[in-house]
C-alpha cells in the first residue's frame, strides 16, 4: 500500500534502469554488466539486458523519500525480474491502456495522461527516457500538485546527477538543472 504523505516516483525500466542505444564511440567498451555468477531473478533469463541494471540502484531508490511505482511496459514483470535484482519489494504497477492514434512524436507521451490520473493530485516525479516539453506542458495544465518530469539519457541510464536531482526535488520540491 502506498502511504498518502510521500510523493510518488513513477519509474520506467528501459532507458533509466536498462541503458541502451549508445554507439561504441559514445561508450567505448560497451555497457557494464552486473552480477556475474549472481542468481538471476525469475524471468531474467528471457531478457539478456537485465544484467545491465546496476543492483546499487535499488538501495539508492529505496532511500529516496517517495513511494516507488513501476511506470513501465514491463508491467508486473518488473516485480518478477527487476525488483528482486535491485533488492526492492513488490511495487505498485501502473496499468496502461492501448495506445491511441493521438499519441506520437511531438505530442504528449501516451503514459502522461495515465500518470496524471494515477497521481490524482498527489506530488509526483516521473523518470523516463521519452519525456518531452509537451509532457511537461500537459502536466502543468492538468495536474494540481507538484510534479517533476525527469528525462534520463537512455544511453547511460540513471547516473549520479539523476539521483541528485531526484533527491533534491523530493526533499525540497525545488527542481534542479532546469527540470520542472
DSSP conformation letters of 47-95: -GGGGGS-TTHHHHHHHSSSEEEE-STTTTHIIIIIHHHHT-----B--
Closest CA to 72 of 4, 3, 33, 129: 129
Distance CA 23, CA 41 (A): 28
Q: What is the pLDDT of residue 32?
A: 84
Distance CA 77, CA 95 (A): 12
Q: What is the pLDDT of residue 166?
A: 97
pLDDT > 90 in the chain, percent: 68
Fold classification of 8-172 is Rossmann fold (3.40.50)
pLDDT digits (tens, 9 = 90+) for 111-144: 999 999 999 999 999 999 999 999 999 999 999 9
Distance CA 60, CA 63 (A): 5
Q: What is the pLDDT of residue 123?
A: 96
Residues in the chain, pLDDT under 70: 1-4, 35-46, 99-106, 174-180
Q: What is the pLDDT of residue 46?
A: 61
Mean pLDDT for the chain?
A: 87
DSSP state of 36: T
Q: What is the pLDDT of residue 180?
A: 46
Residues in the chain: 180
> Could you tell me which residues are beta bridge partners of residue 8?
67, 124
Amino acid at each position: 500500500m502506498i502511504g498518502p504523505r510521500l510523493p510518488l516516483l513513477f519509474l520506467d525500466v528501459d532507458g533509466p534502469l536498462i541503458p541502451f542505444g549508445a554507439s561504441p564511440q559514445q561508450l567505448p567498451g560497451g555497457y557494464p554488466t552486473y552480477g556475474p555468477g549472481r542468481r538471476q531473478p525469475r524471468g531474467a533469463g528471457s531478457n539478456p539486458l537485465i544484467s545491465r541494471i546496476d543492483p546499487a540502484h535499488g538501495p539508492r531508490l529505496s532511500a529516496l523519500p517517495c513511494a516507488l511505482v513501476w511506470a513501465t511496459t514491463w508491467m508486473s514483470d518488473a516485480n518478477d525480474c527487476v525488483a528482486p535484482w535491485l533488492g526492492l519489494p513488490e511495487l505498485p504497477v501502473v496499468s496502461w491502456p492501448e495506445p491511441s492514434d493521438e499519441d506520437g512524436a511531438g505530442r504528449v507521451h501516451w503514459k502522461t495522461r495515465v500518470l496524471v490520473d494515477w497521481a490524482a493530485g498527489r506530488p509526483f516525479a516521473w523518470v523516463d527516457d521519452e519525456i518531452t516539453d509537451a509532457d511537461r506542458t500537459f502536466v502543468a495544465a492538468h495536474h494540481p500538485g507538484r510534479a517533476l518530469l525527469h528525462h534520463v539519457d537512455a544511453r547511460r541510464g540513471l547516473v549520479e546527477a539523476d539521483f541528485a536531482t531526484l533527491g533534491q526535488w523530493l526533499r525540497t520540491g525545488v527542481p534542479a538543472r532546469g527540470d520542472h
